[in-house]
């Protein structure tokens, strides 16, 4: 390492030390807010799971949590790392993947049970997110089960 690299590394380490030493004590109000946000999102997730066939809307979830739509959307994204709409689609598709293992259920029925009102939209969304349409996903899943995997 040449002298310039060493100096740059030392400056970087000093800056980090200064930044760490300048941090104020943990603000208890901020911690309480973070905990409340996580609890609100957890309750929303439970509500979504319980009502998968007719998932709650953003209005319902934000009202339930006592937050505005905009603020709830922000909090949800901060806690889960994704938008509410993206989470809903992911949760629906995960449930659909599980249901596809049951050969007695029709694709249309699975679409409705996972909150999709339009089976064609369900099929398009499923294929877009997984690369396979629901029927092919089911066949592949059953094939893997028969192979023991």
What are the pLDDT tens digits along the chain (149 aa)? Answer: 554 444 445 444 444 444 444 445 567 788 888 899 999 999 999 999 999 888 899 999 999 999 999 999 999 999 999 999 999 999 999 999 999 999 999 999 999 999 999 999 999 999 999 999 999 999 998 888 888 75
Give the pTM. 0.73
User: Tell me, what's the pLDDT at 85?
Assistant: 94
Q: What is the CATH number of the domain that holds 143?
A: 1.10.10.60
Q: What is the C-alpha separation between 56 and 48, in angstroms, rounded? A: 6
User: Tell me, what's the pLDDT at 149?
Assistant: 59
On whether both 37 and 71 belong to a single domain, the answer is: yes
On whether both 121 and 136 belong to a single domain, the answer is: yes
On whether both 133 and 99 belong to a single domain, the answer is: yes
CA distances 112 to 25, 45, 47, Å, are 51, 19, 18
User: Tell me, what's the pLDDT at 94?
Assistant: 95
Report yes or no: 53 and 113 within 8 Å, Cβ to Cβ. yes
* Domain boundaries, position 108: 88-147
Q: What is the C-alpha separation between 34 and 28, in angstroms, rounded? A: 10
- Quick check: is 35 in a domain? yes
User: Tell me, what's the pLDDT at 63?
Assistant: 95
User: Tell me, what's the pLDDT at 146?
Assistant: 83
Give me the number of domains the chain comprises.
Answer: 2
Residue 144 backbone class (left: φ over 0; alpha: ψ -120 to 50; beta: rest):
alpha
């Amino acid at each position: 390492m040449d002298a310039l690299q060493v100096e740059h590394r030392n400056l970087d380490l000093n800056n980090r030390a200064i930044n760490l030493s300048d941090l104020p004590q943990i603000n208890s109000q901020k911690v309480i807010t973070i905990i409340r946000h996580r609890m609100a999102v957890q309750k929303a997730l439970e509500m979504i799971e319980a009502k998968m066939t007719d998932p709650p809307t953003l209005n319902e979830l934000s009202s339930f949590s006592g937050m505005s739509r905009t603020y709830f959307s922000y909090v949800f994204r901060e806690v889960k790392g994704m938008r509410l709409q993206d989470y809903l689609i992911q949760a629906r598709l995960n449930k659909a993947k599980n249901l596809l293992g049951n050969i007695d259920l029709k694709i249309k029925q699975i679409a409705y049970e996972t909150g999709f009102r339009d089976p064609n939209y369900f099929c398009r969304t499923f294929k877009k997110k997984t690369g396979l349409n629901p029927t092919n996903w089911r066949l592949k899943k059953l094939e893997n089960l028969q192979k023991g995997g």
